[in-house]
Amino acid sequence: MLNGLSSLARAAKPWSFEQARNVLARLVKVRLGEAERDLAGALIAGGRAAEAVAACPELARPVLFQTGYGASGLPHIGTFNEVARTTMVIAAFRALTEEAIPTRLLSFSDDMDGLRKVPENVPNQDLLALDLGKPLTSVRDPFGEQPSFGEYNNVRMRAFLDEQGFAYEFLSSTQCYRSGRFDGMLRLMLERFDAVQAVMLPTLGPERRATYSPFLPISPVSGRVLQVPTLKRHPDRGTIVFEDEDGARKEIPVTGGAVKLQWKPDWACRWAAFGVDYEMAGKDLIESVKVSSRICEILGGTPPEGFNFELFLDQNNQKISKSKGNGLTLEEWRRYGPPESLVYYLFQSPRSAKKLYFDVIPKATDEYLQQLDAFNAARGAPILGDRPAPNPLDNPVWSVHGGAPPETGSPVSFSLLLNLVSAANASDKSILWGFIRRQFPGASPESEPLLDRLTAYALNYYEDFVAPAKRFRSPDARERAAMEDLLARLSDLPDDCRDGETIQNEVYAAGKEAGFEPLRAWFMALYEVLLGQSTGPRFGSFAAIFGLPETRDLIARALKGEFLKPD
C-alpha cells in the first residue's frame, strides 16, 4: 500500500477516482445531518476519513455497489464489463477513504425475466422455443448441464468473476422474489400504484400505455410471464386481478414470486430494497435511469450515484447482443490474450464506444505491458529538479490490479511474439522459449510466468487469425535493392549480435539509402515480403531475438520467392 494514498486518490485523474469522489460526497449528503456534513467534509478533505467515520457513525455502514446482469443469453464481455469497472471504482473508493468505510459489491442476475426470443448461439433451439415467455429459471437448459437456462448462464458468469478474483455477492432475482425478500417493496408498489403509473405512462407509446402495469403476473396455467393489464387492485390484501391465458380472471398476490415487476420498476425496487449507493449503466439507459430514480423515490428510497458508459460494438460496428452472440466472449479473449489485458481495455475511455473483436487483443495486450513497465519503472524512482512526482494512481495498471500491480511484466512484447511464431513457424511454446533464451539467457517459464502465458496466447492467436490472413508478395525493384543492401549490412555484424538498436540502425540506414520517405513504407515492405503482413514489431528487436543468422536466411529466402504461393 502506497503512503499517503488518500491524498493521491483525491488528486487522481482517472474516471474511476472521479466516481469514487462522487460516491463519497453522496454518502456525506444522504447519511448525515447538516452539522455532521460540515465536520465530515472537513475531515475527509484533510485525508482523515477514519476520524470522519469515528465522529459520524452513519458513515461506517457498508457502501453498496450493485451491478446487473441479464441471464437471457450466454455472458459476453459486455456483461463482465460492469463488474470489472465497478470493481475499479471500489478500489478507488477504498484508496480515497483508506479503507475506513467498508464496501460491498452485489452482482444481481435478472433471471426471472421472461425469455423473449431464442438466442442464436445455443444448441437445441427448438427446446427453448417451447419455453418462450417463461422465467429464465423455468426455461430448460439447452446444454443439459443445469436445472434451467437462467441457472446455466448464472454459473458461467460466476465462474468468470471467480477466475478474475472479484470479491462479490451474487443474488438471483428469482430467489429474491420467491423468498419474499422483495415482498415489502411489492406491497408498497401496489399501494402507490397510481404514482408509479404517473411516472411510467408518459414514457410509453399509446398502444402499450393502454395495457401497461408495473406488475407482470406469472400464469398459473402456462408458467409464462404475462404482459397484461391489472384489472383490479386490492392493496389491503396485497393482490391484483388479471385475465389469464385461458380467459379466466384470477386474483393472485403480488408477493412470494407470483408476479414479476416490469424492468424499470424492478430496477427501482432493488435500489430501494437494498439501499444501493452506486450502479453504472450503458449510455442507452440514461432515460431509464431517470425513470427508475423517480420510482425509487416513490418507494421511499434514494437513487444511487451512477455513471453512463458507451456501448460495445462488434466488427461491423453493431451493438453486441447476448441473443445474437456477436462480439467477443470471455472465453475467446482468454484464449488469445491475458485477462488483465481485457480489464485494461475496459478501463480505458469508458465514455467512448469500444470495438470488441479479435483484432483489439494484441494492441490492448501490448499497451497493458507498456503501462505495467512504466508503473514499475516509477516505483521508488528519484524525482529530478522541481518537477512534481507523477501520481502512480493515474497509471491504468493500478486500477486494473486493484492497487496491487505485479512487480514484473514481460521482457518481450506480444506483437514481437506473434512475429516470432510466424518467422520460426513455431508450433509449441518450447520452440519460442528456445529463441527467447538466446536474448534472455536466464529467462524461464518459472522466472517469467507472464511471458510464458503470452507465448501460449501468441500461438493460439497466430494459428486462428494471423496464419490464415498471411499474404506474401514479391518486392519491387527498389525494395529488392534495399533488402539486398540490408542483407549485406547484417552479414557484416557478428552472428551472436543481440543488440536490437545496432540492428535497427542498419535497417534504418538501408531504408534511407534506398530513398524511402517516409521510412514507414520501408518497414511495411519488410513485413509484407518477409512475414506476409503489413505491420510488425520493431524490426531490430525482432531480429535480435530471432537471431541474425535466421534473419539473414529469412531475407534471402524471401528474395528468392520461397514464401510465395504458386499461381
d(CA 8, CA 20): 13
Domain assignment present for 24: yes
Across the range 211-236, mean pLDDT stands at 97
Same domain, 31 and 104: yes
d(CA 428, CA 418): 12
Same domain, 152 and 229: no
Q: Find the CATH number of the domain harbouring 535.
A: 1.10.10
Across the range 254-264, mean pLDDT stands at 97
Q: What is the dihedral of CA 280, 284, 287, 289, to 10 degrees?
A: -20
Same domain, 57 and 108: yes
pLDDT higher than 80, residue 386: no
Tell me how far CA of residue 552 lies from CA of 201, 485, 557, in angstroms: 74, 11, 9
Same domain, 336 and 288: no
Same domain, 453 and 471: yes
Tell me how far CA of residue 550 lies from CA of 302, 412, 490, in angstroms: 67, 18, 11
Per-residue pLDDT at 77:
80
Same domain, 555 and 453: yes
Reported as a pLDDT band with limits 50, 70 and 90, residue 1 is very low
Cell digits for 291? 425513470
Regarding predicted confidence, which is higher, 460 or 534? 460
Same domain, 71 and 165: yes
Classify the C-alpha dihedral 500-503-507-509 as positive or negative. Answer: positive
Same domain, 100 and 134: yes
Domain range for 334 is: 330-393
d(CA 20, CA 5): 14
Reported as a pLDDT band with limits 50, 70 and 90, residue 183 is very high
Q: Is 85 within 8 Å of 350 (Cβ atoms)?
A: yes
Query: Within 10 Å of residue 494's Cβ, how many Cβ atoms?
Result: 7
Same domain, 267 and 255: no
Same domain, 40 and 176: yes
Query: Within 10 Å of residue 545's Cβ, how many Cβ atoms?
Result: 27
Tell me how far CA of residue 145 lies from CA of 117, 188, 325, 444, 471, in angstroms: 21, 38, 20, 40, 43
Q: Find the CATH number of the domain harbouring 301.
A: 3.40.50.620
The pTM of the full predicted model, rounded to 2 decimals, is 0.92
Reported as a pLDDT band with limits 50, 70 and 90, residue 355 is confident
Residue whose C-alpha cell reads 477513504 in the numeric block: 97
Domain assignment present for 472: yes
Across the range 460-477, mean pLDDT stands at 94
Query: Within 10 Å of residue 460's Cβ, how many Cβ atoms?
Result: 16
Reported as a pLDDT band with limits 50, 70 and 90, residue 321 is low
Q: Which residues contact 202 (CB under 8 A, 6 or more apart)?
A: none
Per-residue pLDDT at 313:
81
DSSP bridge pairs for 68: 108
Q: What is the CA radius of gyration of the chain?
A: 29
- Residue count of the chain, please give it: 567
Q: Is 481 within 8 Å of 514 (Cβ atoms)?
A: yes
Same domain, 257 and 217: yes
Q: pLDDT, tens digit, for every residue of 229-252?
A: 999 999 999 999 999 999 999 999
